Amino acid sequence: MRRRDLARRGPGRSTKLLLANRLRFETLLSELSAGLIHVSAPDTGVAIERALQQVVTFLGVDRGGLDEHAEGRPRLRLAWARPGVEEPPQVTAADQFPWVSGRLREGEVVRFSRLAELPEAAAIDRASWERVGTRSQVLIPLRTGGPILGVLSFASVRAGYAWPDDLVERLRLLSEAFAGVLDRRRMELSLAERLRLERLLYSLATAFSHLSAADFDPAVQRGLRQVVDFLGVDRGSLIEFTRDGTATRSWAVEEWVEMGEFPWMTARLQRGEVINVSHVEELPDEAAVDRQSYLTHRVKPQVAVPLLVSGIVVGGLIFSTVGTERAKSDELIQQLHLLGEVFANALSRKQAELEAVRLRQDLTHIGRVSALGELTASLAHELSQPLTAILSNAQAAQLLVEGDVVDLEKVREIRVILRDIVADDKRAAAVISGLRALLKKGEPEFVPLDLNELVREVAWLMRSDTIMRNVSMSLELSPDLPNVRGDRVQLQQVVLNLVLNGLEAMREPHAGARTLVIRTARDGVAALRVTVQDSGPGIAPKDLGHIFEPLYTTKTEGLGMGLAIVRTIVNAHGGGVGVENNPEGGASLRFTLPVNQEVAR
């Protein structure tokens, strides 16, 4: 009778126990889901460790762990173990657990109650578990419909533990809460990183948008430092390629190495290819020189992207590490392409600016040659005068020497003749020297200049031309003017072009005297002014605002470049130009230049 009662009660107790376990599990699942659903990225670690402790306690095992699977970025690894029990090993380490890693990547659950249950293919895995004292374990891949996010594992080290199907199924439900928090953390971190990238791109684009060639180097150094800090690497470099593909300039954060030491990488960059190498051993045989250079400089190869503008490679961005090697990452390459566009545009603008400077220098040189071409007759006269005098004096000296008697009077005459020859030679040499300076082609040399002296030099050069044109030229130079800072030849060209413009304005016959006045004076406290005033017919009101524009001319034979060159040179010196008609007739063209601040201070 009693046995029959016990038999009837047995199934009831078993059912109640089963229901109680399920209720406990449902409560655990509800608590875990509530505790993990609104966790922010910074609090993820604490929340997961607390959840692992709850599950380990519920199951009655010894330890639990969560290993995030994240290629190319730092991984999250969390664990909780009972007192006296070591934390679990990293089960995603393919070198220690190759068989398990393969099964987990395919989305399979791995479980064993005893190590003996593992197949022969898992020999390496079994040995790894034996070393850490694991006797039974279950490993569940974490995913939310896409690639694997990580692995959730629970293990026993003190005794075997059975993992029946219904328990594994319930653990699968639990794993969804862990997978959800990992997925949200990953999206939150990804969003934060994108925002950081956008802020960096905006900062670089703003810094490079109005960058002059003179400020390019320090700005690039600051930009590279920002990118290195953003990527978390050790070294960053920017190289510039010319149109023929050779590397001409380079900028670097920390230590820079010569591109000649990395011919394989340089050649691939020049072809517009991306280099993404995590380990030195990955370099091909043809990169033997690069491999040796990496070892010599103790630099881990990382990634290099070409910088292209309109399909042309203008440079390359290179980043590397010194400490630990980093895994390959497609996201990193995408980030570098975006950053590379900013640097590529900066390089392209710099090259365009330098090309424009070169073209302006060529244009001003052509302008000087053209202006001197207009002075051919007067320059020939300036040279023929001293040369004729030298010839005459030499012939006179020759006659004196050829006489039968050389007395003291003849010696004195010869001495006077020789002094005249020396003076005339110096005069001819001065003309040639002035021509040579104006015809010289080269980089501008900004030095302190005496503006009055510069005007006198041009006036002396124009002396014969004004006489031949029947123009009276005078100078009204203000004394004690401070120096300006500029290129002597270019500023001589400015005065020369303004004088030629004034002479051309008086070419047509008109009533009144032909006069040209060159004045210097202060223009406020911080600038000097040079004015060239002619007595010609003046400038039509409709033309006053345009005469300094390129290709704009009021002359039938003019090209409209002389005054445009004046404006270009003066603007490059930090000054300005202006024009006005004179009340008594004619026009006055002027330019201003800032006082040399180095002396002014």
pLDDT (tens digit, 9 = 90+) per residue, 512-528?
788 999 999 999 889 99
Rounded to an integer, the average pLDDT of 308-326 is 78
Q: Which residue has the higher pLDDT, 582 or 282?
A: 582
Alpha-carbon distance of 379 to 382, in angstroms, equals 5
CB proximity list for 331: less than 8 A, separation 6 or greater: 72, 73
Look at strands 527-534 and 587-594 and give their pairing.
antiparallel
Across all residues in the chain, what is the average pLDDT?
80
Token readout for 142 is 């974490």
**Short-list 227, 195, 372, CA closest to 305:** 227
| Residue 2 reports pLDDT greater than 50 | no
CB 572 within 8 Å of CB 593: no
Alpha-carbon distance of 515 to 471, in angstroms, equals 6
Rounded to an integer, the average pLDDT of 195-215 is 86
Give the three-state DSSP class for 137: strand
CB 369 within 8 Å of CB 439: yes
Q: What are phi and psi of 518, to 5 degrees?
A: -110, 120
Q: How many CA atoms lie within 13 A of 537 on its CB side?
A: 10
Alpha-carbon distance of 213 to 275, in angstroms, equals 29
Token readout for 121 is 């293919």
Token readout for 589 is 């063209």
Q: Which of 104-113, 250-259, 497-506 has the highest mean pLDDT?
A: 104-113
Q: How confident is the model at residue 4 (pLDDT cuts 50, 70, 90)?
A: very low
**Short-list 81, 100, 45, CA closest to 155:** 81
The pLDDT of residue 53 is: 92
**Strands laid side by side in the 515-522 sheet:** 472-477, 515-522, 527-534, 587-594, 576-581
**Short-list 310, 39, 292, CA closest to 188:** 39
Give pLDDT tens digits for 486-511: 888 788 888 888 988 888 888 776 65
Token readout for 3 is 């046995």
Q: Identify the H or E element spanning 66.
A: strand 63-68
Residues in the chain: 601
The DSSP output letter for 325 is -
The pLDDT of residue 326 is: 56
Q: What are phi and psi of 31, to 5 degrees?
A: -65, -45
Q: How confident is the model at residue 146 (pLDDT cuts 50, 70, 90)?
A: confident
Give the three-state DSSP class for 237: strand
Q: Mean pLDDT lowest for which of 186-195, 356-365, 375-384, 422-431?
A: 375-384
**Short-list 228, 225, 207, 205, CA closest to 216:** 207
Give the three-state DSSP class for 596: coil
The pLDDT of residue 396 is: 63
Q: Mean pLDDT lowest for which of 31-40, 212-221, 379-388, 525-534?
A: 379-388
| Residue 338 reports pLDDT greater than 70 | yes
Q: Mean pLDDT lowest for which of 217-231, 344-358, 395-409, 494-508?
A: 395-409
Q: Mean pLDDT lowest for which of 111-125, 346-360, 562-576?
A: 346-360
Rounded to an integer, the average pLDDT of 560-588 is 86
Q: How confident is the model at residue 483 (pLDDT cuts 50, 70, 90)?
A: very high
Token readout for 359 is 């073209």
The pLDDT of residue 126 is: 92
